[in-house]
Structure 1
Amino acid sequence: MLGAVLILFGYLCGSLSAAIIVARLMGLGDPREAGSGNPGTTNMLRLGGRTAAALTLLGDALKGVLPVLAAHLAGAAPWVLGATGLAAFIGHLYPVFFGFRGGKGVATGLGVIIAWAWPAGLATLGTWLAVAIVTRYASLSALVSFLIAPLYLVWLGAGPILAGAMAVMTALTYWRHRSNIANLLAGREGKISLSSRSKND
């Protein structure tokens, strides 16, 4: 029973789209209908500037962290920890409160990994930053860091259950980034820029 409550809590937290909430509060409209159409940090940077992007990043990360921390505090079994984090991630992708039209889950996924096992989370975040600095592609940073994340979880002792849940998150991340992958292969993917907004999230 407790496991089901925690998993549901994770999904509902994930369904609170920070980008849409911040955009409404700042009078920016619906980020799903402007820019890249993705309710995420990069698109909010384009639409509302650094403050909007920072609030979106923080909100999306926290909704991955908080449900998993609640599961930790409740003494949940590893499978419940994994399922709760995965539910928060899926909630971001398919939010019940916003017509199941969500984002790509990178910030929420990073929040989940950090809450599962912070050393693996920091290693994943470090990989994202390294790839972003070298290539300036936000999408490629997400794809590379999430691909390696299950290995970090195993290597740093988080266990196979959490690594398996992360593998599912990775597969979903690749699915949600399929247009970015096509753009990367075609050389059309926009790069990260604080002054000139990137074309894609």
Structure 2
Amino acid sequence: MPRPTVVRADAVLIQAVIAGALSFAHLHDLAAAAGQTGWKAWAYPISVDLLLVAAWHRLRSGAAKASAWCWFLVALVASLGANVATAGLLDLTDVPAWLRILVAGWPAVAFLGGTLLAHGTRTPPAGPEAAAPTAKTEPATTSTTPESPTAPVPDPAQPAAPAPTPVPVPPALVALAHKVADEHRTRTGAAIDTSTLCARLGVPMPLAEAIAAQLT
């Protein structure tokens, strides 16, 4: 519902304008009563309000918060003090000397505060580029592949190793192996491997390999 939001924003803006105008008038009246006549009386409220806004802006930016809080409180005390002083607690026709001194010295204070806020140390914004660490370049290392050892050349003078003697397989064990292999294929859909056949028959691996050779 956009309409209530617009009405609320307008009400806040009107309230801010009224409050600012009243504070501006009080500061002007106090400066004029303290002997600052003409355009100088109008410059005082502008100076106080600008210092207040500059300090608040620095607080919102997150940089130099201690200095920003200090000058924000100085400007707030100046504005609030002028509003209270013009509320009938002070005779504006007979302003005391200490108040005249404060009003006359305000431009120097405001100039110092504005300069420090404008040219103070700023904290760089934290973003993806600032947070990302700089990649360190490492020297390229040349990987050397170790040479494969040369296979020993058989000596023709030496007799060849005798071929392994085939393991005898009983026919009954072969028949049992066929049944186990068929049941495994029916259950899994794949041919039985030697390790499974060895475990199912409970025979040594060499005998299982000999039986598997006869199943193919």
Question: Which TM bucket (shorter chain)?
Answer: under 0.3
TM-score (norm 2): 0.24
Structure number having the greater helix percentage: 1
TM-score (norm 1): 0.25
Q: Which has the higher contact order (CA 8 A, sep 6+)?
A: 1
